[in-house]
Amino acid sequence: MIQTGPASKTSTALILSLSKDLVSAVCKSIDRLRQAQPERFFFCIVFLCTFLLASPASAHEIRPAALELTAQSDGIVTVVWKQPILSGRKLKMRPVLPEQCPQPETTRQVISGDAIVESWQVSCQLNSGRVAIEGLDRTLTDVFVRLRTADGAETTHILRPASASFALGDPGGSPASAYLQIGAEHMLFGWDHLLFVLGLVLLTPTRQLLWVISAFTLGHSVTLAITALGLFTLPSEPVELLIALSIFFLAVEVVRKWNGKTSLTIRRPWLIALGFGLLHGLGFAGALADIGLPKGQEIWALLLFNLGVEIGQILFVALILAMLWLIGRSPVDQRKWAEIPAAYLVGGLGAFYTLSRIL
């Protein structure tokens, strides 16, 4: 496994310095737009604020938590509760076991990467009652529950804010099949990944879009696999910062293309999609690391998670293309009322996420 050390800290400091320069350039560009085209500037600000109010402030609050319940033949249940650390704090959630399971007097807590892992043991039978996550209804996070009975059977459940509990005895699902759904949800609710794909759609001619999206898929599939299997690791902070910068960079290239300029990104969009796809794969792997891979089914679960990501990606691209097609058939100017606001949305949120991950 490749670990990071002092060199990683140096590269992170360099990234932060470059980010500040880029953010300064963004502010100057916004001020020039405000002075030259105040009406368009006002429209873009209103559009951006509406989006920010309607979406989570953090692009990663969708990262799932995980609960493992392992029953032993002597009546002892081992509980492992893992939840991600978001913005330096943990969410106010806790697992609630059935009434026959007493509350633990002490628990063991350790910090593992970007998550807090809490474990304890209780003496009870997991044969009746409900398992719930208190506080889940006040978050945007899902909880992946893995239940192992004393006879070796294993089932999984996905708890959400709207359905924060399940009854013991429910059939649940297979350990691997739940990863398909988690992958799709991580893509569809991961605002940073969606913004990057939107930028690719704006940058790429329609006839090349299939190859560009395929290159992005190839890139993030490679790093997702090698990271999930433990062959390579990086701290999440520089990864998330670089993802934010990739979004802003793509928006800049879209505007440059509209102004008649050219670059390697504009001439070969598949190349930048492949390169940044490797980076976004590290982001996907972060969500997968939160819940882990089921023993004995690692490859199958990894493939299903990646397939879920692709399903979410295809649905989003299809939605964007359908919207652009409908707008193109209307009497309004598609570039003015759809593409330009979308580009400013991508660039503005790219700058916003960059700032939020620096400060």
39-43, 184-188, 254-258, 316-320: which has the minimum mean pLDDT? 39-43
Average pLDDT in the 56-85 region? Answer: 79
Structure tokens at 131: 């398992």
Average pLDDT in the 50-54 region? Answer: 46
Q: Are 59 and 190 in contact (CB under 8 A)?
A: yes
Q: Are 173 and 157 in contact (CB under 8 A)?
A: yes
User: Half-sphere exposure of residue 155, counting CA atoms within 13 Å on the CB side?
Assistant: 14
Q: What's the pLDDT score for residue 61?
A: 46
Distances (CA, A) of 248 to 165, 284, 350: 39, 19, 4
Average pLDDT in the 284-309 region? Answer: 83
Q: Which residue has the tokens 């593992």?
A: 112
Distances (CA, A) of 219 to 56, 94, 278, 281: 27, 36, 4, 7
Q: What's the pLDDT score for residue 175?
A: 67
Handedness of CA 157, 163, 168, 172 (dihedral sign): negative
Structure tokens at 83: 């939840």
End-to-end, the C-alpha distance of the chain in Å comes to 30
pTM over 0.95: no
Does the pLDDT at position 108 exceed 60? Answer: yes
Greater pLDDT, 165 or 328: 165
C-alpha–C-alpha distance, residues 131 and 96, integer Å:
6
Q: What's the pLDDT score for residue 15?
A: 52
Q: For the chain, what is the mean pLDDT?
A: 82
Express as a percent the part of the chain with pLDDT over 90.
38
Helix H or strand E encompassing 158: strand 154-159
When pLDDT is cut at 50, 70 and 90, the band that residue 116 belongs to is confident
Closest CA to 346 of 193, 140, 185: 193
pLDDT in tens, 3-44: 445 544 555 555 555 555 555 555 555 555 555 555 455 455
Q: What's the pLDDT score for residue 45?
A: 52
Q: Are 69 and 77 in contact (CB under 8 A)?
A: yes
Average pLDDT in the 207-223 region? Answer: 94
User: How much is the CA Rg of the chain, to the nearest whole Å?
Assistant: 22
- Those residues whose C-beta lies under 8 Å from the C-beta of residue 287, and which sit 6 or more positions away, are 62, 63, 64, 182, 186, 190
Q: What's the pLDDT score for residue 53?
A: 43
Greater pLDDT, 320 or 92: 320
Average pLDDT in the 296-306 region? Answer: 86
Closest CA to 190 of 250, 244, 267, 249: 244
Residues linked to residue 123 through DSSP beta bridges, in sequence order:
76
Q: Where are the alpha helices (DSSP H) in the chain?
A: 6-36, 38-54, 178-188, 191-203, 209-228, 236-258, 264-267, 269-291, 298-328, 334, 340-358
C-alpha–C-alpha distance, residues 293 and 296, integer Å:
9
* Residue 319: count of CB within 10 angstroms of its CB: 10
Q: What's the pLDDT score for residue 237?
A: 82
